[in-house]
Structure 1
């Protein structure tokens, strides 16, 4: 059993370290996060997403931002880290952290194609959950964040900042890497973003961009590799019969178990859809499937470790509990309605 688990973990790491996956899937995420920190004016972040900005507008925008991305929970972390580091409010930052992996265009249509009604409900529920998580996180920690920033002499809002179009152009081109299917187009877009960034920004700004990207890479990537290995190896110790027994009943307890297991395991982008379909065929209830789909892409063992490291234990664990609890509640609501 241990040998199989070791083999599974190593195989997943080898897949994760595939050169194309690294170059076109991981590197753009860190370049985006570095660009947010170095190429966007901090005043602009504060104007639209800062703790002092209109939280309803900021959280609403952040809740649907994931629709333009197709990234896993690990790839969204460097982007979230940069937003949070620059001064984004904890409410919109948390909504963005959830919506990135949970609500992307590819997931919406592939879920609908493979899972039917469950797929559509998953997509709608993810937007609602992203908004709810942002609101609750702001309610719990928003005032404390503003107080902490003021104690450090940091501004919490800005109404006069101009739109940083040059930085946004580079970031948009890097985001577009996740929106196209062909690896050739992905490569062209990434090279074009680097070239345009080189032309639009001076030497100091470019060095800051690369330095921020590398700093986040060193902070996050080693933990990701270790976490991916552990989460993949754990799958070997969870027999299919146990999964069906735990997740087959249509009740809240079953949904909580499903949400929790989904949160612990690591899923590459969209792999949760065929996995969920197989589990449904094995006897998983529809509510548990919803909970699994909502919690699985948004969390993983490595991402939970990093979230706590970035946000602090109290705020990080609150976010994790909210994702697991709200996902289970969404599954129960689905069972009541359908």
Structure 2
């Protein structure tokens, strides 16, 4: 009985430690800005601006890059992209651009790429970004060519649909705010000397209790990290009170939540060592303060409360949809890391072989995870010894080839198109992981 309790305690502690590390290290400067950007794009950039370029009348040089950009802008998960794909394809988009949109959307949305870079490494994040765009376009072109006769007949029947003749205006302030939001994200995550160098130091006007310091060190938390987790909890509570009914008007909790978000990003920026009460004023803190100030000035002058309400609601919707799943996924990944023997992972996928990369792809098919949860799972496998090539193959395939996605696509496109699409994704993901591993070995 004692051994069972000890094992259970060890597993729970592993999950808890993983969750604390995730909340302190990846959420504030990474996911919070990414959620805000995703909500901004969803509410402020009209879909007509994106989808009008995907129609059969558009040049391939326009429709395929536009579909890839549209997938990135919409920032949706694999379950959400399916009805969007079905909608634009049924209403007149070419099969090729629609497939590109389908592939790129869940693979390179701002949340996925940002979190991949922060949790696993920017080499994997950049490879995932570039290859997802390239594969999306190549697979779209291949599907359009393979089924060109069917698509020609279909296009003739649907030229009067009119969906892609619509237009929408985007005011310049939207692009200014978008760039400033991206700057918040970049300043918070980019690892360069200008941002990481410490230019001054401040000693906190109190001493940390030794027992508290030891407790924090036991779970690899700094005082700053613990404070950020507490602030994150307060953000959640105030956001629930202030964002849930934001279309009814701003209340005091709305302003408190917005202020807490900005304040917490500032708190997350300085450098602090474990067990220390000395805060380093680095370039990241200075940069975030400047960008947030500029952002506040532009927003206050250029947007109505109705527009801001839409932005807040879309952001809050993303958070409610994704963040709880992330919490559960990170916790379970921490437990799984404790359970799975590292030798298993090292034996099956510890080397960069075609078989190991195929295993990564197959794992993505049969073990579907909601958006972003695949990242902590990938981090777990990396820690257990998986080679980076198979890891990339898994990250490329997971958003595209879950069993439920395959079943839905079968109902939308038919068996033949679905089989070809799945085969192309599996082949390219396996090959990409293998070649990426060879490139790393040669460098």
TM-score (norm 1): 0.62
C-alpha displacement at 1:317, in angstroms? 1.3
1:51 is displaced (CA, Å) by 3.0
Secondary structure class of the residue paired with 2:165: coil
For 1:242-278, what per-residue CA distance to the aligned partner results, in whole angstroms no more than 9, with x for missing partners?
Answer: 5543322211121112112212321111111110111
| Cα distance in structure 1, aligned partners of 2:154 and 2:134 | 29
Structure 1 pair 257/243, CA: closer, same or farther in 2 (3 Å)?
same
Any conservation in 2 of the 1:149–1:156 contact (CA below 8 Å)?
Answer: no
What CA deviation, in whole Å up to 9, does each residue of 1:37-92 have, x standing for no partner?
Answer: xxx79xx96x6212342123111111232322333211111111110110110111
Aligned to 1:231: none
Deviation at residue 136 of structure 1 after TM alignment: 1.2
| Contact kept in structure 2, 1:68 and 1:104, CA below 8 Å | yes
Structure 1 residues 335 and 189, CA, compared in 2 at 3 Å: closer, same or farther? farther
**For residues 165 and 95 of structure 2, what CA distance do their matches in structure 1 show?**
20
Q: Aligned residue for 2:95?
A: 90
Q: How far apart, CA to CA, are the structure 1 residues paired with 2:248 and 2:160? A: 35
Evaluate the alpha carbon distance shift between residue 102 and residue 160 of structure 1 in structure 2; reply closer, same or farther with a 3 A threshold: closer
Q: Deviations over 1:204-243 (max 9, x none)?
A: xxxxxxxxxxxxxxxxxxxxxxxxxxxxxxxx9x976655
1:81 aligns to what?
86
CA distance in 2, matches of 1:60, 1:77: 19
Whole-angstrom distance in 2 between the partners of 1:186 and 1:317? 43
Q: Separation in 1 of the partners of 2:81 and 2:423?
A: 19
Instruction: Name the counterpart of 1:337.
Output: 439
Give yes or no for the alignment of 1:119 onto 2:125.
yes
Partner of 2:55: 50
- Structure 1: distance between partners of 2:164 and 2:132: 33
2:91–2:158 contact (8 Å) kept in structure 1 = no
Cα contact 1:252–1:332 (8 A) shared by 2: yes
Of 403, 406, 413, which aligns to 1:311? 413
- Tell me the distance in 1 between the aligned counterparts of 2:413 and 2:159: 19
Q: Distance in 2 between matches of 1:304 and 1:100?
A: 16
Match of 2:151 among 138, 145, 151: 145
Does the CA-based 8 Å contact 1:133-1:319 persist in structure 2? yes
Q: Assess, with a 3 A threshold, how the Cα gap between structure 1 residues 190 and 83 changes in structure 2: closer, same or farther.
A: farther
Helix, strand or coil: the match of 1:322? helix
Alpha-carbon distance in structure 2 between the residues aligned to 1:278 and 1:157: 47
Aligned length: 247
Matched residues in 1 for 2:100 and 2:243: separation? 26
The 3 A distance-change label for structure 1 pair 122 and 86 is same
Contact 2:54–2:66 (8 Å) recurs in 1: no
Distance 2:94 2:167 in 1: 18
TM value normalised by structure 2: 0.49
Query: What is the CA distance between 1:138 and its match in structure 2?
Result: 1.5
Question: 1:256, 1:328 within 8 Å by CA — same for their partners in 2?
Answer: yes
Match of 2:139 in 1: 133
**Whole-Å Cα distance in 1 between the matches of residues 401 and 423 of structure 2?**
11
Q: Is 1:102 aligned with 2:107? A: yes
> Match for residue 167 of structure 2?
163
Alignment equivalent of 2:72, drawn from 60, 67, 72? 67
- Asked if the contact 1:91/1:142 (under 8 Å) is kept, the reply is no
Judged with a 3 Å threshold, the aligned counterparts in structure 2 of structure 1 residues 77 and 66 are, in CA distance, closer, same or farther, namely same
- Counterpart contact for 1:52–1:156, Cα < 8 Å: no
1:245 matches 2:249? no
Instruction: Quote the offset at 1:149 in angstroms.
Output: 3.9
Give the secondary structure class of the aligned counterpart of 1:81.
Answer: helix
Gaps of 5+ in 2: 1-34, 171-234, 250-305, 307-335
Q: Does 1:287 align with 2:389?
A: yes
